[in-house]
Amino acid sequence: MAVVFAENLLLVIGRVRDGRGYCVLPGGKVKPGEALPEAAIRELREETGLIGTVDTHLWTLQHEDRTSHYFLVDAAYGPLSLGGPEQLKDSPENRYLPQWIPLDDVAAHNLRPATLQELLRRQR
C-alpha cells in the first residue's frame, strides 16, 4: 500500500460499494515474483496515474483476511487518473475515485481500515 502526502493532503481511492462510501490507500495484490515495494509503486501507477518511488517501509498490519505492508512513497502532486483492473471494474455500483483529501478530514472520509487513521496522525 502506498502512503502519499502532498503538503496537508493524503492520496486515497474513494470507494462506493454496496451503497457504502469509504476510502482506502492505493494498493493491492503482489504479483508472483514481485517485491513488496515494487507492488506498491505499480498499484500507485495503476490506480492513480502517478509515478513514485518508495521512501521507507512504514507499517505491516494484520487485517481480518490479509497482511498489508504500507510504504511511504514520494510522488509528485498532480492530476489523477484511474487505470488498471480498477478502471475495468469501475461502475456506478462499484466506484473507484482517486483523490487528494485533507489530512484533517481523514475520519470524515471513512478511511479503511480504521486503524490507519491513528497511524497517520502519528506520522505527520
Q: Helix, strand, coil % (nearest 5) of the chain?
A: 25, 40, 35
Q: Which residue has the cell 504479483?
A: 31
Indicate the domain borders of the chain.
2-123
CA distances from 40 to 20, 32, 51, 75, 98 (A): 25, 14, 11, 12, 15
pLDDT tens sequence for the chain (124 residues): 999 999 899 999 999 998 999 999 999 999 999 999 999 999 999 999 999 999 999 999 998 888 999 999 999 888 999 999 999 999 999 999 999 999 999 999 999 999 998 898 887 6
Residue 12's pLDDT is: 97
Residues 6+ apart with CB under 8 A from 69: 1, 36, 40, 57, 59, 60
> Under CATH, which number does the domain 2-123 receive?
3.90.79.10
Residue 7's pLDDT is: 87
Strand partners, 71: 2, 57
Residue 124's pLDDT is: 63
